[in-house]
Structure 1
Amino acid sequence: MYKKNEKNKNQEENFWVSYADLMAGLLFVFILVIASIVIKYLYTQHSLADSEDAKSKLFYELAKTKNMYEKSLEDLKDANQKIVLSNKEVEKLKALLLEYDINIKDEKSKNDSLSLALNDSSNQIALKDEELKLLADKLLVQTQIHQKMVEDFDIAKLKIKTLTGIKLNVIAKLKEKLGNSIHVDEKSGTIKFSSNILFDQNSYILKEEAKKELSSVLKNYLSLLLDDKEISKYIENITIEGHTNSDGTYLANLLLSQQRALAVMQFLYESNIVDKKLLSTFVNSSGRSSADLILDKKGVEDKDASRRIEIKFNIKNEEAIKEIQNYLDKQNENRVQ
């Protein structure tokens, strides 16, 4: 009995458990159905809203297209009215077109002529440009040559100034060494002996009383020029020149001036004032006759002063240097102008 009751009790409990599970399952199915209905409703509402918007847009576009169509019809009518021209207007247009065509042909002919002229001008300009280029090249070459000449001139002038400075330095030393014993020319360094002191009238025999003074002066003069190697290396030669006045004939005076210069030269050799080798190397004598007279302030011959013996020296290449100096001075004047 107890077992039977226990069995019934268990069966009853199982029933209610199964019933509860069944009801829970039905409730879940119901919830799913309700959720599906809600979702479908929301989707339908959203699609409906989109359809309404699309419909509104279509109506708007349709109205807009209609307005544009009506506007196009009006424009087309206006265009048709403008296109319609009278026969007279067409003829006028044809005449204008014909005139325009003629003008175009004339302009084309003019343009062709201008093109030919332009090509010819271009060719001439090209030739001129080529000529200008050649001239520019020549000018550049000439400029370079001129610049080189200017540089050479400056170098030559510097050398000339150096040699001139050497001569002036020698003259200064001569004046210092000779003192007041004889006058030394400031430009040439020449010393002069009056023939009245050294010789009798028309004679080429040295006076005995003049030999002492002549020996002293020549010794100082020649020793400075020949013994000092720093000076002698620049000396070209030393000349003893005899001069006369204009009395008598030129040839007679030439012979007398040569004999007097030779007499001084012979005196130098015989007196042993200077080494004979140096004398033979550097010293020479010549006569000038009356070719180089001395004039007074009025331009009249000074006969006593013209009768003289001159001792002068030349720096190496001095004559060439003088010519170059004169040439450079002229070139410099031209450049300044």
Structure 2
Amino acid sequence: MFRKKATDEGSNFWISYADLMAGLLFVFILLIGAIVSKSIILKSNLHEKEDRLAMLSSNLEHKEEKLGELSRSLSENQRLLLQKDQSLDESRKQISEQLHTLKLREDEIKKLNRMLLAANTQQDLLSKKIVLVQNLLKESNSTLNKAKMSLEERNKMLEHYKGQIVVLSDQLSDVNETVQEKNKKLLELLNALDEKETKYDTLVENLQKQKARIKSLTGIKLKVIAALKEALGDKIDIDKKSGSLRLSSNILFDKGSAVLKDDAKVQLKKAFEEYIGTLVTNPKIKPHLDKIIIEGHTDSDGGYLYNLDLSQRRAFAVMNYLLTLDIAKKYNLKPLLIASGRSYLDAIKVNGVEDKNASRRIEIKFRLKNEDAMHEIEKVLDAK
């Protein structure tokens, strides 16, 4: 009887021990499963962050390439602008020299006019003297006849008066020759002056034409925006100054997300096809088109880097979707498209206060060829 009781107690001990070990094993298995699940989640997050880092690195390299291109373009534009400045300085210098020469010519002509006036006055005096001599001669002849002077005295007087007349005639001839030479020089100077004035007027006219041509070149941006407005009409509302297309981020994305909403893709496709289709097909716009820029913008809530990352990812998401459309493949838009995040640097303000709903947006804008050079040339032409 006692042996059977001892056996039952031993069996219960081992059963309890087995249950305890089974429970510990179960807990161990649960712990291992939790560790494995946590490891898988951490690896997934790590891969996601690596992919995001790779994307940011790619965007950074792309922006560095664009920055290099912009730097080279700016250097070339500065060189062209410097050449224009040198050409304008030389033209101004030539005009100044020509004006100085014309001033000297004008003074010389005035001096010749005074000399010519003096010569004419002297000629009139000599003519009057000749008339007086002739009158004296007549009076002398009359006096000789009346007084019946001797023939020898009369001849002497006649010879004397004839000699005076010859001298006066010679002086008058010399004065006439001098006057003719001065008239000839005066005529040559007047012709030279007319020629200089014609060249000066031609030079000024050419400068005005060049300035008008450059002004016309710098006005291309306004012409392109006007053509874009005319083509789109009331279909799409664009910015009046820059010609950009603005789309609210609240419609395209959820708060804090960079994933496009499915119902927003239809609206984005329609707006994109109307806007971009006009840019790449309109003959008044297409020859001047350089790049199509997709910019992401946020409000000032949160840090700068967080908003910069969010705006870049949103701009990239829009560009990635647009590249899947048929219009992008039809017109080979990939080389034209650029995605850029601006964080809250270009927030929209109304009366000095940020409009956060309007600031959260996607802008699709265009850049023209040599646009930076146009702005610099326009500044030089408008400078006083």
- What TM-score do the two structures reach when normalised by structure 2? 0.45
Of structures 1 and 2, the larger Rg is shown by 1
Matched residue, 1:37: none
Is contact 2:247–2:363 with CA below 8 Å preserved after alignment? yes
Q: CA RMSD in A?
A: 2.8
* Deviation for aligned residue 1:263: 0.4
Letter of the aligned partner of 1:323 in structure 2?
E
- Which of 270, 274, 283 aligns to 1:220? It is 274
Q: Deviations over 1:154-193 (max 9, x none)?
A: 321133235532332223213x1xx25x421122111111
Letter of the aligned partner of 1:166 in structure 2?
V
- Which of 297, 312, 319 aligns to 2:365? It is 312
Q: Deviations over 1:83-135 (max 9, x none)?
A: xxxxxxxxxxxxxxxxxxxxxxxxxxxxxxxxxxxxxxxxxxxxxxxxxxxxx
In structure 2, how many angstroms separate the alpha carbons of the residues matched to 1:213 and 1:223? 15
- Which of 334, 339, 346 aligns to 1:280? It is 334
Q: Which moved more, 1:215-224 or 1:152-161?
A: 152-161
2:248 equivalent to 1:194: yes
Is contact 1:245–1:306 with CA below 8 Å preserved after alignment? yes
Q: How do residues 174-253 of structure 1 correspond to structure 2 at under 5 angstroms?
A: 174=232, 176=233, 179-180=234-235, 182-253=236-307
Is contact 2:304–2:344 with CA below 8 Å preserved after alignment? yes
* Deviation for aligned residue 1:276: 6.3
Is contact 1:204–1:260 with CA below 8 Å preserved after alignment? yes
* Deviation for aligned residue 1:278: 2.3
Measured at CA, do residues 171 and 144 of structure 1 come closer, stay the same or move farther in structure 2, by a change above 3 Å? same
Matched residue, 2:231: 173
In structure 1, how many angstroms separate the alpha carbons of the residues matched to 2:322 and 2:288? 22
SS at match of 1:322: helix
Measured at CA, do residues 162 and 201 of structure 1 come closer, stay the same or move farther in structure 2, by a change above 3 Å? closer
Is contact 1:226–1:278 with CA below 8 Å preserved after alignment? no
Percent identity of equivalent pairs: 41
In structure 1, how many angstroms separate the alpha carbons of the residues matched to 2:204 and 2:345? 42
* Deviation for aligned residue 1:147: 7.5
Q: Deviations over 1:193-244 (max 9, x none)?
A: 1111100111000011111111111011111111345532211111000001
Structure 1 unaligned segments of length 5 or more: list them: 1-60, 62-141
Structure 2 unaligned segments of length 5 or more: list them: 1-148, 150-199
Measured at CA, do residues 162 and 246 of structure 1 come closer, stay the same or move farther in structure 2, by a change above 3 Å? closer
* Deviation for aligned residue 1:312: 0.6
In structure 2, how many angstroms separate the alpha carbons of the residues matched to 1:244 and 1:222? 23
Matched residue, 2:216: 158
Measured at CA, do residues 231 and 148 of structure 1 come closer, stay the same or move farther in structure 2, by a change above 3 Å? closer
Q: Deviations over 1:251-289 (max 9, x none)?
A: 111111010000000111123332266211211110001
Measured at CA, do residues 329 and 213 of structure 1 come closer, stay the same or move farther in structure 2, by a change above 3 Å? same
Is contact 2:224–2:284 with CA below 8 Å preserved after alignment? no
In structure 2, how many angstroms separate the alpha carbons of the residues matched to 1:218 and 1:144? 50
Matched residue, 2:379: 326
